Amino acid sequence: MALSPPQRIALIITFFGLLAFVLGVISENKKPASGTPIQGKDVVICKFPSDPTLAMGSLSLVALVLAAIIGHVAIFYPYSGKSVPRGALFQSTSLSVFFVVAELVSFLAFAMLLWATVTEGLHRTHNIHHDMNYQCPTAKTGLFGGAAFLALDASLFWLVCQMLALNARADYLDEDDNKGEYGQVYAAEIEGSKV
């Protein structure tokens, strides 16, 4: 059974959203609480254990960006070669609201993932300090995990946007939904008698 273009796009959004979530959670779980301060002559050198936090955080960031890009494609893609003007799509209040929410949640997830990844990278790169009481911290606990859940939420919002865009397209193009005719039910048979 071949998948239709909307189903393929939905699966791609789901894949990248779940990937961003899983990689973000792995980043949170593998991140050390702090580095080991090593006293030197008038300096403290921070030694951090080798872990996949930076790589996983970066890959999670890339997966989130891909999920958001495919989310935009899901809304504006000309399914069956029939494009719909943006004005017609966004006449739907539900689509407009969910689109704005998906954009905001995607941006917030991106900002949190970027903040955590850059902070972690800076802590590891700038590991020589002149403050003799420096404790060698890592990125704040919970940033990667929170960003991972926001990335998952963003992909879910993009999926809802795709469904609402498909409904708006069908309304604009006056397409049937291939689920049969709607009509009034005149009679029902209950235990052999008609009501």
Domain residue ranges of the chain, discontinuous segments joined by +: 5-180
Burial status of residue 185 (CB atoms within 10 A of its CB: 0-12, 13-18, 19 or more): exposed
Model confidence pTM above 0.75: yes
- Cβ atoms of 9 and 70 within 8 Å: the answer is yes
Place of tokens 């300096």: 43
Cα separation values, 125 from 19, 54, 129, 189, Å: 27, 12, 11, 76
User: Does the pLDDT value for residue 170 go beyond 50?
Assistant: yes
Q: What value does the mean pLDDT of the chain take?
A: 86
User: Does the pLDDT value for residue 191 go beyond 70?
Assistant: no
Q: What φ, ψ does residue 147 adopt, rounded to 5°?
A: -65, -35
Which residue(s) pair with 137 in the sheet?
34
Residue 189's pLDDT is what?
Answer: 45
- Using 50, 70 and 90 to split pLDDT, how confident is the model at 152? very high
Cα separation values, 126 from 38, 130, 143, Å: 14, 11, 20
Question: Which residue spans within the chain are E strands per DSSP?
Answer: 36-39, 44-47, 128-129, 189-190, 193-194
